[in-house]
Structure 1
Amino acid sequence: MTDKTELKYTAEHEWLRIDGDVATVGITAYAADKLGDVVFVELPTVGAGVTSGTVVGEIESTKSVGELFAPVNGTVTEINDAVVGNPELVNSDPFGEGWLIKVSFTELPTLLSYDEYTALVGE
């Protein structure tokens, strides 16, 4: 079980687990709940350069299509093939098996703490 208070968050409803210079990125339970049942996930390719704030993938649900934004500048080092094959992992375990990408970065932007994020979404 992930301790959500140790993660960092974006206003776009993504979470980051920082390990050295690699950020594991996923969407929050709040975002997964708002999307509804996720049926398709499109992720960037390994080795792709990403720029903070730009769209790097899509998450489609029975209700809508959501965009995945890069939370940092860097290079995609890994994608979660399990989520591509089983998109429902985004709903069932958004902070664990439902992670989306890992990005190697050189500098972290200003991110939200758990308390700041929960205040943002009113939880």
Structure 2
Amino acid sequence: MGYAITSLTIKGFKSIRSLEAFKLGPLNVLIGANGAGKSNFVSFFSLLRSLVDQELQLNLAQHGGADAHLFLGPKITKEIVARLYFGRNGYEFVLVPTADNRLVFHNECAY
């Protein structure tokens, strides 16, 4: 079993403009009004899973393409940025849209 995510930052993903250093514990409960972004927060983990499984493009195709994953679309948001912390270790990536409605890595770093 791997390490648990202890904190994360998400920028530009669906309805999440910017979520900075969000702390996660062993059990997390999301509470909020309809349309507040709870489902989009959870769908970020589906995106992560597709990265691990090397099925990012399949995930995008099944869920509306890159345009549907960028906060307010590609005219407003030019990239999705994520930083995940696992105790003292971390992983971050930046995804950018392509002309054919896909997302590709602009950069990626594990530390």
| TM range, smaller chain | under 0.3
Structure 1 length-normalised TM: 0.24
Name which structure has the greater RCO, CA cutoff 8 Å, separation 6+: 1
Structure 2 length-normalised TM: 0.26
